[in-house]
Amino acid sequence: MLRVHSLEKGMAHRSPRSFGASKATSLVRMLEVSSAETRDSTAYGMGVSVLHAWLGFHADRDDRDATSYELVEWFLRDARGDGYGGEGFAAGIRSISGRDPQEWVGLPFAEFVATRHSTRRYSAEPVSDDVVDMAVSLALLSPSACNRQMMRLHVIDDPVRKRLLYDTLHGTGGVDFDSCRIGVVTYDSRSLEFYGERNQGYFNAGLFAMTLVYALHWKGVGACLLQFGNTVAEERMLSQGLGISDFERIAVGISFGHLESSDVVPASVRRTVPEVLRIDTQGPALVHSND
């Protein structure tokens, strides 16, 4: 699914170019060795579907990688013949037009959630500090482990530090540098009591960040959470460069800006509920030892 999203993201760039030959080839190799169970999953259907979209994206491009293009064509012909042609999935990109955030204010929650997409395209209208303050005030209402409230949001507006953060974070490709505001969510490592809580910081950061992006969306501000998958040395360098305290750990980056009325975003097909939800009404039989 990571490779699916990577290909979708490339097709959603504001100025897309021929790309993704190695990723498409890698995805084909993964799908080729999939088990029968995997071939019935949403993930497999997404993989096949995004390869169709990738072919279509490159169909009229003279600079495409011919070897990878032909390999994907061959695989999709074979997959279709085996009954795994990706039908029923719509991976790739979606085009949005006529978007008006004012229409979301009174929506039921389920409909409101469905209107949000991670986006890297932002209008020239700056996001005010008042909007950020409001979003953070709502994010602070997120569940917090023992109410320790260990989260911080650092928004980096200084041009030099902004460039440092933009170039260090993973996944900033396609983000409108000039029009975005960008920052990181951190957690206070001093809040962790013992080794068993080693994941609490990231867990709490995720809860805070998700409420934050919904709050921004409520105000017509688009956002994209950006992976922080850097080394310890890179994190130390970045924290020092941004003036972040030694006891804070960087959990995730975020770019945000006012939404444009039209956009192109990854389709990001979701798994089905039965693939994710398990309701255990009767556990396995207990095995009793003879000892």
- The answer to whether residues 14 and 272 touch, using CB atoms and an 8 Å cutoff, is no
Q: How confident is the model at residue 289 (pLDDT cuts 50, 70, 90)?
A: low
**What's the number of CA atoms in the CB half-sphere (13 Å) around residue 43?**
14
pLDDT tens sequence across 44-95 = 998 999 999 999 999 999 999 999 999 999 999 988 766 666 677 788 988 9
pLDDT tens digits, 32-56? 999 988 888 888 998 999 999 999 9
DSSP state letter for 65? -
- Compute the average pLDDT of residues 261-286: 87
Is the predicted pLDDT of residue 114 greater than 70, yes or no? yes
Per-residue pLDDT, 241: 97
- Tokens 């040395």 belong to 233
Q: Are 72 and 24 in contact (CB under 8 A)?
A: yes
pLDDT band at 290 (very low <50, low <70, confident <90, very high): low
Asked if residue 252 lies in contact with residue 228, where contact means CB atoms within 8 angstroms, the answer is: yes
pLDDT of residue 90: 84
Per-residue confidence (pLDDT) for residue 194, from 0 to 100: 85
Round to whole Å and give the CA distance between 217 and 255: 13
The band of 31, judged by pLDDT with boundaries at 50, 70 and 90, is very high
Question: Which percentage of the chain shows pLDDT scores above 90?
Answer: 67
Q: Give yes or no for residue 291 having a pLDDT over 60.
A: no
- pLDDT tens track for 192-216: 888 888 899 999 999 999 999 999 9
Phi and psi at 266, nearest 5°, equal -55, 140
- Summarize pLDDT for 134-169 with one digit per residue, the tens: 999 999 999 988 878 899 999 999 999 999 999 999
CA-CA distance, 79 to 54, in Å (whole number)? 16
